[in-house]
Structure 1
Amino acid sequence: MTSPLLVERFAARAAATPGAVALRDAAGSVTYGELAARVEACARGAAGVAGAAAVAGSRRIALLPRSDTSSLAVVLGAMRAGVSVVLLHRHLTAPQLDHALEVAAPAVVIASGRLPVAFGELGARVPVLAPEELASAAASPTRRAAPADELLVGLTSGTSGEPKLFVRDQASWAATLDRSDSAFDVRPGERVAVPGPLDHTHFLYGALHALTRGAAVDLRPLAQVFADGEPVPHAYLVPTLAHDLADALGAAPRAEVRTIASSAAPWPASARERLARLLPAATIAHFYGASELSFVTLDGRPFPGVEIELRDGGEVHVRSDMLFSGYLTAAGLRGGPDADGWFSVGDVGSLTDGVLTLAGRGSDTIVSGGLNVEPAEVESALAALPGVAEVACVGLPDERMGAVPVAVLVLSPGAAAPPRAALRAHARATLPQPSRPRRAYVVDALPRSPRGKLLRDELARRLLDGAARELA
């Protein structure tokens, strides 16, 4: 039996409790009935603009979301119409944005407010509409979404600097919702804090799942969510928000908080200690997953229906009905699960008594604040600086971000080190914000193996031991 699709679950909640609060953002609250009306208007508009472009093979619209009701109405409306959402994010550079638009070919981009610098010439490449304009666009009849319909095209880091576009279909998200329903006890009317940006799929999914449960989603910053005194039983967070949560709670314990749904990255030890005192009844549910894999483990144990195999030195391979369809390229879908349904994003780990423990990425990827940073992209950008002979990028531990990228430079003979301000300006012009090095160092030579391979772990150890000069 096919699981109900996301939009079907939302529609059932809206029909059952139209007067219940669905969302709260900086502008105020909307009910399920009000949100459903906005979703239906966006669905007709999305069907209209995507239908006009369908002759070119595209039934997609792109969205640069804000943490507001309008963005969620666009997402739900497109899903209702069987139109795929290309989820753009604020960290894209202009070349990355160009690549995403060329490959995905959305009919329009939906955005509101002040656009990031990289989006400055967007209107010359593809029409740009505000969410309200989509809702009032030339309408077309909507068809019922089907399980095999493409639901979302998201962007994740690629080693070449170009983002990879992963594709999820309606059925895979329906299967993921089933797992969330069994793992997280979210009840109708309960408030769910979703304080992160909706261009991060962790937060977008958290908001959408809560709406399928009839909950009240609060999109405001944590300090505002916990300031009004109303109960907040659930929150979707990432480790970088751990201290923000502790600060928002103040000194008084909040016994009503039951669940903190978090990615599996380690939480800062000092924040864990503070939260243990402030949230005496809360469970921090650490789940491991990826954009391509969806949920894999909860507190180390596989979600129901998820199979895990360790291959090739501990590389984690996953099989389930929640996996993505593949990567969207100019030649179509490529690089998805193999013929037997298995896929790996390159994470390495070990299995003991059925519990998966992650040891990091088998690749050089740095995971910083839940976002992937590819060292090769950083190294290529900084190699263009005058006087630089070699560049290495490694991750160093950081309590808030988990790890942060830093740059290590080897200078050409007789060259002076670039000023730190010049390096930062160059990084701002060439790299997305998460990939910009937090610090830069100068060394005489990079550690390498006898075959010339860069020894990144050894380089990071030397930096931590103070064996390098930081740029002034």
Structure 2
Amino acid sequence: MPFLNKLQRWAAERPHDTAVVIAGRRLDWAQFRDEAASLVAETKSVAALCEPNSIGFAVKFAAAVAGGRQCAVLDPAWPVLLQEEIVHRVHAAAQAVAVATDDALEDGPGDSPFLIGLTSGTTAVPKAFTRSRRSWKESFEASIEFFGLRQDDVTLAPGPLAASLNLYALAECLYAGSEFQTLETFDVGNVHSAITHDRVTRLVLVPTMLRMLSERGLTGCVDASGVRTIICAGSKLDARTLEAARRWAPNATIYEYYGASELSFVSGAGLPAGAAPALGGTGIGRPFPGVAVQIMDDGGSPLPDGQPGNICVRSAMVSNGYLWGDDGEALRSFDGWFTVGDQGYLDAGELHILGRRSDMILTSGKNVYPHEVELALGAVPGVAAAVAAGMPDDLRGQRVVAGVVPSHGGVTATQLRAGLADILARDKRPLQFYALAELPVTDRGKVSRSLLLDWIDARDARVRSLGT
């Protein structure tokens, strides 16, 4: 497996039900099967797909994983030279491995690799890893159970299919026999239209998308009462996003989960409609079905509850490892327990995420993770978004500083300190606060803590000191 045998089943049992809708074009199960089957014979044993969202992309992807074939999915927004370099490496990897294929639209052996995943790293060329068909089947079974995916659901994942979150959502729906939708490009108005007119019951997206959809949906009176499931990945939801989503989609269970491309799903939690959220915390729920989680030190020894260390995972969903880019640190194994280096701790069975060790702030001999500070600040009234970092300090080594994007009405340092008093330990609280006109982000849209420090050092116009 992963999903082609199921696709054949749905095409036989429910040929005229909708399978996928992408950019307004619809295919039923029989049409999807037939179009994918017509491409299998001409599809290489190892293929590289680099296209924007379309029905053609979905059909080509299905054909590209038929039998023993392998497929790499590239982001079409990447620079052309980077795309060419990755395609060259993919073809070189294909020549080194003999792949047996036939012309049938069916799943290959469970232990055979089918997906060449690409993940960003410290180098210009993303690292490449492989996933087996069996690992995705195990992932499908776990996520369908955990998120409660039903055949009568209509899933909308409005991001690019080149991103693993959305590609997985497509494949998961094909496996479950549930309708999948996406757009050519993300557009708030088009997402609202789909929710209103296409019976969308399930959203799969990142927090920034959810905030825009919720806040503009409330302003524009867009009815999202039919949405019963919201699945967010990428980072924990801040208080403002969560509050807006609860008001906009009042009947939805909102899921957050922790995972990694190399590990698949690790832990998660669902906040049912009407339940009170615990704001500002680092908890990310309990392990997924079939997943065991252990916190270990750098030598692979287990650590007790409450003590931070490497988040290590044992499950059948873990990837096979890297084709290229392995620096020995990105994916480590301790006697069958795998970690990507994320730090956290366990408390009564719940996993708490602290962030990457490289982000850690060492201040007066204490370890402080900026992720924890940012979550706490996000729960303070008057804060729309926050970023924390460690600034060099002659006395402490580093001192914790924080930049906040104020919501309407603004916020003072006194209000920030008071808001943190009950949700963040004293030795983790920022010593200086700054008001930001915008979050410091990289060219790829990721929040940059180092850029915050650069702005402060340069007295950038986007930064204003709120004092200590």
TM norm structure 2: 0.67
Q: Does 1:327 align with 2:322?
A: yes
Q: What is the aligned counterpart of 1:26 among 4, 17, 23?
A: 23
Q: Map Cα deviations across residues 320-354 of structure 1 (whole Å, 9 max, x no partner).
A: 100000110399x9976637322211111111111
2:290 and 2:90 mapped to 1: Cα distance?
31
**Which residue number corresponds to residue 284 of structure 1?**
254
Q: Does 1:83 align with 2:69?
A: yes
Alignment of 1:48-197 (within 5 A): 50=44, 59-94=45-80, 96-105=82-91, 141-142=103-104, 144-197=107-160
Listed as ranges, the gaps of 5+ residues in structure 2 are 95-100, 270-284, 298-307, 361-369, 372-400, 408-441, 463-468
Shift of 1:28: 2.1
Shift of 1:269: 2.8
Q: Indicate how the Cα distance of structure 1 residues 140 and 179 shifts in structure 2: closer, same or farther if over 3 A, else same.
A: closer
Shift of 1:399: 9.5
Contact persistence 1:91–1:434 (CA under 8 A): no
SS of equivalent residue, structure 1 residue 104: helix
Q: What is the aligned counterpart of 2:203 among 215, 220, 235?
A: 235
Q: Indicate how the Cα distance of structure 1 residues 171 and 436 shifts in structure 2: closer, same or farther if over 3 A, else same.
A: closer
Contact persistence 1:45–1:140 (CA under 8 A): no
Contact persistence 1:191–1:216 (CA under 8 A): yes
Q: Indicate how the Cα distance of structure 1 residues 88 and 399 shifts in structure 2: closer, same or farther if over 3 A, else same.
A: farther
**Which residue number corresponds to residue 415 of structure 2?**
none
Contact persistence 1:327–1:335 (CA under 8 A): no
User: What RMSD over aligned residues (CA atoms) do the two structures have, in Å?
Assistant: 3.5
Give 1:14's aligned amino acid: A
**Which residue number corresponds to residue 281 of structure 2?**
none
Q: Indicate how the Cα distance of structure 1 residues 175 and 223 shifts in structure 2: closer, same or farther if over 3 A, else same.
A: same
Q: Indicate how the Cα distance of structure 1 residues 396 and 179 shifts in structure 2: closer, same or farther if over 3 A, else same.
A: farther
**Which residue number corresponds to residue 34 of structure 2?**
37
Q: Indicate how the Cα distance of structure 1 residues 165 and 469 shifts in structure 2: closer, same or farther if over 3 A, else same.
A: same
Give 1:39's aligned amino acid: A
1:182 and 1:245 mapped to 2: Cα distance?
26
Shift of 1:102: 3.2
Shift of 1:398: 7.1
Give 2:199's aligned amino acid: P
Shift of 1:32: 0.9
2:41 and 2:201 mapped to 1: Cα distance?
35
Identity value in percent: 29
1:437 and 1:277 mapped to 2: Cα distance?
26
Q: Indicate how the Cα distance of structure 1 residues 11 and 71 shifts in structure 2: closer, same or farther if over 3 A, else same.
A: same
Contact persistence 2:229–2:252 (CA under 8 A): yes
SS of equivalent residue, structure 1 residue 310: strand
Contact persistence 1:23–1:29 (CA under 8 A): yes
Contact persistence 2:39–2:63 (CA under 8 A): yes
Shift of 1:471: 8.0
Give 2:73's aligned amino acid: L
Give 2:56's aligned amino acid: S
Give 2:36's aligned amino acid: V
Give 2:288's aligned amino acid: F
Q: What is the aligned counterpart of 2:312 among 313, 317, 321?
A: 317
Give 2:212's aligned amino acid: D
Aligned residues: 352
**Which residue number corresponds to residue 118 of structure 1?**
none
1:35 and 1:320 mapped to 2: Cα distance?
32
Shift of 1:364: 4.5
Q: Indicate how the Cα distance of structure 1 residues 36 and 19 shifts in structure 2: closer, same or farther if over 3 A, else same.
A: same
Moved more, 141-150 or 202-211: 141-150
Q: Indicate how the Cα distance of structure 1 residues 471 and 225 shifts in structure 2: closer, same or farther if over 3 A, else same.
A: closer
Q: Indicate how the Cα distance of structure 1 residues 285 and 62 shifts in structure 2: closer, same or farther if over 3 A, else same.
A: same
Give 2:11's aligned amino acid: A
Q: Which has the higher contact order (CA 8 A, sep 6+)?
A: 1
1:180 and 1:89 mapped to 2: Cα distance?
25
Shift of 1:272: 2.0
Give 1:23's aligned amino acid: V
Q: Map Cα deviations across residues 185-230 of structure 1 (whole Å, 9 max, x no partner).
A: 2222431111000110001101211122222211124532432434
Q: What is the aligned counterpart of 2:349 among 345, 354, 360?
A: 354
2:358 and 2:73 mapped to 1: Cα distance?
25
**Which residue number corresponds to residue 363 of structure 1?**
358
1:399 and 1:5 mapped to 2: Cα distance?
46
Alignment of 1:252-271 (within 5 A): 252-263=222-233, 265-271=235-241
2:267 and 2:457 mapped to 1: Cα distance?
39
Shift of 1:257: 1.0
SS of equivalent residue, structure 2 residue 242: helix
Alignment of 1:289-308 (within 5 A): 289-299=259-269, 300-308=285-293
Contact persistence 2:201–2:226 (CA under 8 A): yes
Contact persistence 1:20–1:189 (CA under 8 A): no
Listed as ranges, the gaps of 5+ residues in structure 1 are 51-58, 109-138, 368-393, 401-431, 439-455
Q: Indicate how the Cα distance of structure 1 residues 174 and 269 shifts in structure 2: closer, same or farther if over 3 A, else same.
A: same
Shift of 1:437: 8.9
Q: Indicate how the Cα distance of structure 1 residues 100 and 397 shifts in structure 2: closer, same or farther if over 3 A, else same.
A: farther
